[in-house]
Amino acid sequence: MKPTTPRGRLSAALLLTFSAALLPIGAAVVAPAHAQTRPAAAPVIEGLEVNADAGLAPGSTLEFVVRGTPKSVARVQVTGSTVSLPLTETEPGLYTGSHTVRKSEKGLVPTALIRAQLTRSGRTVSSNFSFPSSFAMLHANTPRTAQASGPRVNHFALAPVERVEPGAELKFMLEGTPGAKVTIQVPGLAKPLPMQEERPGRYIANYTVRKADAVAAGPVVATLRHGTQTVTSSLPTPLPVVARSQAPAPGTLPAPAPLPAPATSPQSQMGTAPAGPLTLQVMGPGPNAQIDSSQFVLQGRTAPGANVRIKVDAVAPAAQGRLAVAQAVTEQTVQADANGNFSLNFGPQRYAPGTRFEVHMSARHGAQATPEQRLTLFQRQG
């Protein structure tokens, strides 16, 4: 006796076969509207760190750390070179990887960019970072050759200060050969100011002017000693010292600076070269200020109509013993208005608490130009 198929089951099978046969070629079954999902948000790269035991010399091990959206696929690449490696997520949102520099490596130089990339749910983002300045100062040759080349100072600067008088804070910064002893000689001070090495190749010194100090307007000279060799560097402009006879009496306000002669019109004022040397002054925020980058506005003053070039780099907090790399935030040229005022904001960027912002500024008006000024700011905690 042949097995029989229950009538209900057979009818359902025939109905399913018949319904499938009615679908036109290329047709697709559309899911109900409530089953559709929104596209996944793009991943976010929060920062990158790099550390090396011998810079970019052959045999050195480069260790990369990328922080960003968890459960992503991460990769770093040094542009212009053959260095390109995937990273492993060792903790949620923390991706690590290492690369040993080969002797035949081409294009691996401190000026190259490090490109970090995160991919998640089919969406990919990338950010470019720069090697820390200390990589450029580490020599790829033997210590003997490095010693023969001599120490050097790459940059020496003073944070903007309106006037040098009792109570004023002098904040110096120097970049040069790492592992050296650096002092600053300020005219009028009996002893040189020692500088502390904040990180390899970067030195800082802070000094509060005392009432008994007789600070003069002469050249401020930094001396860097490395071994038996010495190199010096001077500030590009003298200190804005207030003469003792001009200093305001205790409890009184200083006399206001004379106002400039009014221009016939904003247009003629902006088209005229400044009567004296071109100046560049940051009105706010002050050095080492805590800011909210998403609401931050940099304000300054220079000659009316002058062009101010502003470059901002962000350096995310790094773990102890590691070097954080700089990520370009913005680089713009803004023009001062008829009163000499200018401003710049970072935009709605997202940065980790404690991120350091390095602001580089210089102004140009006709044939005049100011030395580059540097301002350091920090992302507010919380």
Rounded distance between C-alpha atoms, residue 40 and residue 121, angstroms: 6
pLDDT for 295 equals 67
pLDDT for 119 equals 93
Rounded distance between C-alpha atoms, residue 375 and residue 39, angstroms: 40
pLDDT for 139 equals 46
Which residues, 6+ apart, have CB-to-CB distance to 185 below 8 Å?
Answer: 192, 193, 220, 221, 222, 223
pLDDT for 182 equals 94
pLDDT for 181 equals 93
Give the model confidence (pLDDT) of 73-124 as tens digits. Answer: 999 999 888 899 999 999 999 999 999 888 778 778 888 889 999 999 989 9
Q: Look up residue 325 and give its two tokens.
A: 């790399």
Which residues, 6+ apart, have CB-to-CB distance to 67 below 8 Å?
Answer: 45, 46, 47, 48, 93, 94, 95, 316, 352
Q: Look up residue 246 and give its two tokens.
A: 């001009």
- Say which CATH class 143-234 falls into: mainly beta
Rounded distance between C-alpha atoms, residue 152 and residue 137, angstroms: 9
Residues of the chain with CATH 2.60.40.10: 45-131, 143-234, 276-379
- Say which CATH class 45-131 falls into: mainly beta
Residues of the chain with pLDDT under 50: 1-2, 5-33, 35, 139-148, 245-269
pLDDT for 187 equals 86
pLDDT for 323 equals 57
Only one residue has tokens 């005219």, namely 187
CA-to-CA dists, residue 124 to 66, 116, 129, 163, 311, angstroms = 15, 11, 17, 50, 26
Domain topology for 276-379: Immunoglobulin-like (2.60.40)
